Structure 1
Amino acid sequence: MTTGWPDVSARYLIGGQWRKASDAATVHNPASTREIVGEVALCTKQDVAEAIDSAADAFASWSRSELADRANRMSAAARELQAVVEQNVPLFVRENGKVLVEAKKDLLRCVQIMAGGAEELLEWWHPEKLESGAQKVQIRKRPRGVTAVITPWNSPLILTFKRVVPAVLAGNTVIVKPATNCPLTVMTFLQIVAAHFPPGVINIVTGSGSMIGGMLCTDPRVRTIAFVGGTETGKEIMRLSAGTVKKLYMELGGNDPALVLDDAVLDADTVQRLRFGILRAAGQVCSAVKRVYVHESRYEELVDKLAKEFGRVVVGNGIQPDATMGPLNNKSQFDFVRSLVERAQQSGAQVIRAGRKLNPETWEDGYFMEPAIVTGADQGSEIVKEEQFGPVIPVIPFSDADEAVALANDTEFGLRASVWTADEARAAELADRLEAGAVFHNNHTIFQDLHLDFPGLKESGLSRETRHCALELFTDTYGFAN
């Protein structure tokens, strides 16, 4: 079945020209796998080489462009994109699986990132003046060069735009490599954005991650790699990039803990926030709650309330307004999560399945899973140690705060964490001890200000973006003295 294929289907962008691929793969709807949403081009090595050439050639002039010109172009692109958000929501739902509300938020955030970044640029770029005796020093900024942006399938819009927008505003040129499982809406949006910039400023190649990534990581003209994805892939990017000492900006895996203390207020609103922190996008969020540690005195209460809250979830095709959770995005992830739960049961854990099937008769047509709570799993079990990346959560009791912190930090990851307590001072004290890039109190979400982000510690990321729309990650600074 094929309906409404987008213009970017089986195409890629080099030097301002959209080219038709000689070879392509199909993109399927994860809620109805027989439906083909479009095709993704399988670029060749020659295509990738030409994309690098295009970006390198365009950098010479774009890097010297006026700040106001960059900001104006981005603002104009944001206005055009704003006008087409609504009509592109169904495309994103069909290729990604998110429900309508979640999908629309992601698309709108792209516009916010563009508009906010354009405004931020003019203020942030000013030189910083330092004085030391008779010598006057300015800390000045300049773009780095060609930037590769490699993004995943789970939240491709916002994760791509949070890197492409500041890179381009800072005067860099970019080569975007979207995930083959979910590239079409990203490319549709970038088609609009790229038209506002000179040819070669934004290029897009799709296909083999290992081939394209390998070429981008080893070409000396590519000076920055911005990657979001799995930790093992991130380590390979580090290895390949070492030969040319590239600047790396990487958001990698997470196994986020939520600590529910003995004084936590477990009312309906709080438990709902915890459910959102676990099940947003069917749990396919690197910064979602992956482990819940609850004080032993509140263990049974939390499990019971969380199971009832999970029971309110309506699982179905995201295009249907009544669905509150969609399918997993692809078969590989679906099989992984399902087998993870099965192995947990085989090892003696108990699985509480909840939620309602919106359309039981078509349940097997997509990668649907009921949300599940796992009890009886210990700290060393696979379902606790692994990043599940699906609608399943292990709940583990602890006896005191020191044990909770030790359990939370017992992982190679350090992306996000949350502390659930009635005492804000107590939450802040524990936050100082948790090994995470950001800690939330009585919530587990994203920053409302999209200029803010805090990539993780340990094996969860590199480069500490904190504000300024990430402009600092795509520039070099240098001192000018007189």
Structure 2
Amino acid sequence: MSALDMDMYVDGSWRQASSGGRIDVINPARTSETVGSIPDGGPADIDLAVAAAKRAQSDWSHRPLAERAALIADAGTRLTAIDPSGPEALTREMGKILAESVMDFQSPPWAWSHYLNDPDGLDRALNDRRCDDTGRLEIRRRPVGVVGAIVPWNWPIALLGVKLGPALLAGNTVVAVPSPYASLGVLKAIEAIGSALPTGVVNVVTGTGERVGAALSAHRDVDMIAFTGGLEAGRAVAQALGSRLRRGVFELGGNDPAVLLDDVKVDDDLIRKLAAAFTMTSGQVCFAVKRLYVHHTVLDEVTAKLGDALQAAVVGDGLDPGVTMGPLANERQFKRFTSLLAEAEASGAQVTTFGRARDKTTWDGGYFHLPTLVTGVGARERIVTEEQFGPALPIIGFRTDAEAISLVNATPFGLTSSIWTSDPSRAWAMADQIDAGATFINKHGIAAFDPGAPFGGMKESGYGREMGMEGLLEFTSTQQITDRQIPM
């Protein structure tokens, strides 16, 4: 396939970096292949993008809410109908199978539907009007101004979408910084929707996080940052915002547990859902199952059946229709993931791979790894305590519900979790004791999400919420206007 060289999108125009520099994009399934290139932006490019967003913000925020919603709905329609080159570019640059890349492009309209399908609820959320014999009170949710959106490489269009939709609906303008490992997909998305929105309302600056991400976070005219990514980078962004007393919404990943109780029905449906919940995008999903706690009475059965199901996995180039799981996204992630597995095996754990390579002759030319189960592993091994972000699942037995809760909460993270049982009332009672922003019952993964429900983490998984009306209000500042005369 031909190389795809794209430019950044600033003030309604496509432009190169001020420095003229570019970054090559490498195919993780075929590391000898250069997919294309993106501009190597820097602080000067952030300055231009922020200035454009600031100029556009007043007009955009003063447009009627219904008009903003109509333009965003049009953008969603364009994303849904995007030509195959968008998903193909995303798969080529970060590896996941094409079906997941297609889903990535379709995710923003799905997330926006909660707002767009309820215009009255949207208006009520942004404008609370109260009038009685004491006078009139209005509580208005005003846009914060210019929002910086920093998105990672695993689901870049979806994660930009959950920021972009509510930010724009609330009247803000946006400067987005995608990961250099997944900028082509984001730029293809903006190529599809850019003309649906007024000039300057949405801007995209590409480059490394150390340059463009840091410059965006520190910029005096950026009023808020919505960040999804790793803990270390998130801390740096939060520190930059804190020094300027500006706001942020942070989703910093998780170490997400699934708990199988003693009464769980171990059938094909359960095993299929568990396998998908930890292998989707080669395990590189913030809410993927990353630790599996199984009651000792069903531990052997679950482990055996899960291994049998994983034998059907076919790992290879994500553009190959016969492949069910692509490579890891980049060399850094591949090395970290494989080192965690090697460390677990050296400590005495059993590390067992399943499935097969689609093409053994090209296997060593990509960041491929077969789906893996890790058994006989200690609860304090790093493969258990850290977010491995790869297709490996440590499995640990437990004997009591109290022990399971203790194991689940023994982590600095708290994004999502799941409980699997034949007794829903037992799961609801148990969920109240788990430190997680979301607990799913008898499900886990992308199919468990509701666009009307807020999503975010506890502890080091971040703060603030995306999606739902709570996610919309994160992009606003509250103002009261009143002439009420309240007697003392």
Q: Which amino acid aligns with 2:460?
A: E
8 Å CA contact 1:10, 1:24 repeated in 2 = no
**Equivalent position of 2:75 in the other structure:** 77
8 Å CA contact 1:55, 1:146 repeated in 2 = yes
CA spacing shift, 1:15–1:91, aligned 2, 3 Å: same
Q: Which amino acid aligns with 2:419?
A: V
CA spacing shift, 1:443–1:144, aligned 2, 3 Å: same
Q: Which amino acid aligns with 2:464?
A: S
Measure the CA separation in 1 of the matches of 2:295 and 2:113. Answer: 44
Q: Which amino acid aligns with 2:186?
A: V
1:119-158 residue pairs with structure 2 within 5 A?
Answer: 119-120=117-118, 123-126=121-124, 127-130=127-130, 134-158=134-158
Instruction: Name the SS for the 2:474 alignment partner.
Output: helix
Instruction: Name the SS for the 1:439 alignment partner.
Output: strand
Q: What CA deviation, in whole Å up to 9, does each residue of 1:359-394 have, x standing for no partner?
A: 112111111101111111111111111100000011
Q: Which amino acid aligns with 1:64?
A: H
Q: Which amino acid aligns with 1:66?
A: P
**Equivalent position of 1:326 in the other structure:** 326
Instruction: Name the SS for the 1:222 alignment partner.
Output: coil
Measure the CA separation in 1 of the matches of 2:14 and 2:470. Answer: 29
1:96-135 residue pairs with structure 2 within 5 A?
Answer: 96-114=94-112, 116-120=114-118, 123-126=121-124, 127-130=127-130, 134-135=134-135
Counterpart check, 1:347 vs 2:332: no
**Equivalent position of 2:297 in the other structure:** 297
- CA shift, 1:115, in A, is 5.2
Measure the CA separation in 2 of the matches of 1:292 and 1:248. Answer: 32
Instruction: Name the SS for the 1:18 alignment partner.
Output: strand
8 Å CA contact 2:162, 2:467 repeated in 1 = no
**Equivalent position of 2:420 in the other structure:** 420
8 Å CA contact 1:263, 1:421 repeated in 2 = yes
- CA shift, 1:178, in A, is 0.3
Measure the CA separation in 2 of the matches of 1:11 and 1:67. Answer: 31
8 Å CA contact 1:71, 1:169 repeated in 2 = yes
Instruction: Name the SS for the 2:471 alignment partner.
Output: helix
1:169-184 residue pairs with structure 2 within 5 A?
Answer: 169-184=169-184
Q: Which amino acid aligns with 1:18?
A: W
1:166-205 residue pairs with structure 2 within 5 A?
Answer: 166-205=166-205
- CA shift, 1:469, in A, is 8.1
- CA shift, 1:144, in A, is 0.8
Measure the CA separation in 1 of the matches of 2:317 and 2:470. Answer: 34
Counterpart check, 1:16 vs 2:12: yes
**Equivalent position of 1:455 in the other structure:** 456
Return 267-276 or 356-365, whichever deviates more.
356-365
Instruction: Name the SS for the 2:325 alignment partner.
Output: coil
Gaps of 5+ in 2: 484-488
1:236-255 residue pairs with structure 2 within 5 A?
Answer: 236-255=236-255
Return 37-46 or 423-432, whichever deviates more.
37-46
Q: Which amino acid aligns with 1:471?
A: L
**Equivalent position of 1:276 in the other structure:** 276
Measure the CA separation in 2 of the matches of 1:213 and 1:132. Answer: 48
8 Å CA contact 2:163, 2:466 repeated in 1 = no
Q: Which amino acid aligns with 1:467?
A: G
Instruction: Name the SS for the 1:430 alignment partner.
Output: helix
Q: Normalized against structure 1, the TM-score is what?
A: 0.95
Return 15-24 or 331-340, whichever deviates more.
15-24
8 Å CA contact 2:40, 2:208 repeated in 1 = yes
Measure the CA separation in 2 of the matches of 1:370 and 1:97. Answer: 14
8 Å CA contact 2:111, 2:467 repeated in 1 = no
**Equivalent position of 2:486 in the other structure:** none
**Equivalent position of 1:392 in the other structure:** 392
**Equivalent position of 2:267 in the other structure:** 267
8 Å CA contact 2:256, 2:289 repeated in 1 = yes
- CA shift, 1:117, in A, is 4.0
8 Å CA contact 1:106, 1:158 repeated in 2 = yes
1:26-45 residue pairs with structure 2 within 5 A?
Answer: 26-45=24-43
Q: Which amino acid aligns with 2:468?
A: R
Q: Which amino acid aligns with 1:151?
A: V
Measure the CA separation in 2 of the matches of 1:125 and 1:476. Answer: 15
8 Å CA contact 1:120, 1:469 repeated in 2 = no
- CA shift, 1:116, in A, is 4.9
**Equivalent position of 2:55 in the other structure:** 57
Counterpart check, 1:159 vs 2:166: no
Q: What CA deviation, in whole Å up to 9, does each residue of 1:295-341 have, x standing for no partner?
A: 11111111111111111211111111111111111111111111111
Measure the CA separation in 2 of the matches of 1:373 and 1:192. Answer: 40
Instruction: Name the SS for the 2:100 alignment partner.
Output: helix
Name the % identity: 38
Measure the CA separation in 1 of the matches of 2:370 and 2:186. Answer: 28
- CA shift, 1:62, in A, is 1.6
Return 277-286 or 218-227, whichever deviates more.
218-227
8 Å CA contact 1:55, 1:201 repeated in 2 = yes
8 Å CA contact 1:260, 1:295 repeated in 2 = yes
8 Å CA contact 1:374, 1:392 repeated in 2 = yes
Measure the CA separation in 2 of the matches of 1:299 and 1:449. Answer: 31
8 Å CA contact 1:82, 1:111 repeated in 2 = yes
8 Å CA contact 1:281, 1:326 repeated in 2 = yes
Gaps of 5+ in 1: none
**Equivalent position of 1:477 in the other structure:** 478
Measure the CA separation in 1 of the matches of 2:240 and 2:249. Answer: 14
